[in-house]
């Protein structure tokens, strides 16, 4: 039993489960490629020098440690953050969970949602992503960035809200 199944009520049903759009991983992948190329170039330069083998080994170790720190911080960590961010719509609520070491989240009952909006610019439209804005009865509007296929999610959530409210308030 994986997430989000382990946080659902007995008869609750998942309608949609998404991670943020993959565009969040473009920067970390570019950092990985650039850092690896620079580390390989540095190792090749050190290897061609006439230094003592102990000095070469120490410099290679320093290059490796710097590579590991940069890749861990700017590549692995963002990937883990992307992987542990969940946007879930069930037949009862909207759930948003995020965080690697420390988890945080919010649940919005569908019955408390007043309006659902989306926003996306030209690049977001080309990548089929955007920001979903949910206004609930008790809070300021909440913005969820980089939701894949945001127009579809907007429509789906809108219909789920009106199905929850009942047919007397549903649009014709």
- CA max distance for the chain: 83
Instruction: Please tell me the pTM assigned to this model.
Output: 0.83
CA 106/CA 139 separation, integer angstroms: 12
Q: Whole-number mean pLDDT of the chain?
A: 90
Give pLDDT tens digits for 40-95.
999 999 999 999 999 999 999 999 999 999 999 999 999 999 999 999 999 999 99
Q: Are residues 100 and 158 in the same domain?
A: yes
| Residue 172 forms part of a structural domain | no
Specify the higher pLDDT residue, 165 or 99.
99
Tokens coding 166: 């009942």
| Domain extent for 131 | 13-19+86-165
| Residue 6 forms part of a structural domain | no
């Amino acid at each position: 039993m994986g997430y989000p199944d382990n946080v659902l009520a007995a008869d609750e049903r998942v309608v949609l489960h998404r991670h943020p759009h993959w565009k969040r991983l473009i920067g970390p992948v570019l950092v990985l490629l650039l850092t690896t190329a620079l580390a390989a170039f540095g190792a090749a330069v050190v290897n061609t020098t006439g230094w003592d083998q102990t000095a070469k080994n120490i410099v290679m170790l320093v290059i490796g440690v710097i590579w590991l720190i940069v890749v861990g911080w700017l590549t692995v960590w963002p990937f883990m953050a992307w992987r542990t961010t969940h946007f879930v719509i069930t037949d009862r609520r909207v759930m948003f969970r995020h965080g690697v070491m420390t988890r945080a989240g919010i649940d919005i009952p569908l019955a408390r949602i007043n309006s659902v909006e989306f926003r996306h610019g030209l690049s977001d439209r080309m990548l089929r992503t955007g920001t979903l804005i949910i206004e609930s009865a008790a809070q300021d509007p909440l913005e969820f960035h980089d939701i894949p296929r945001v127009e579809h999610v907007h429509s789906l959530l809108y219909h789920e809200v009106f199905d929850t409210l009942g047919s007397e308030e549903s649009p014709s």
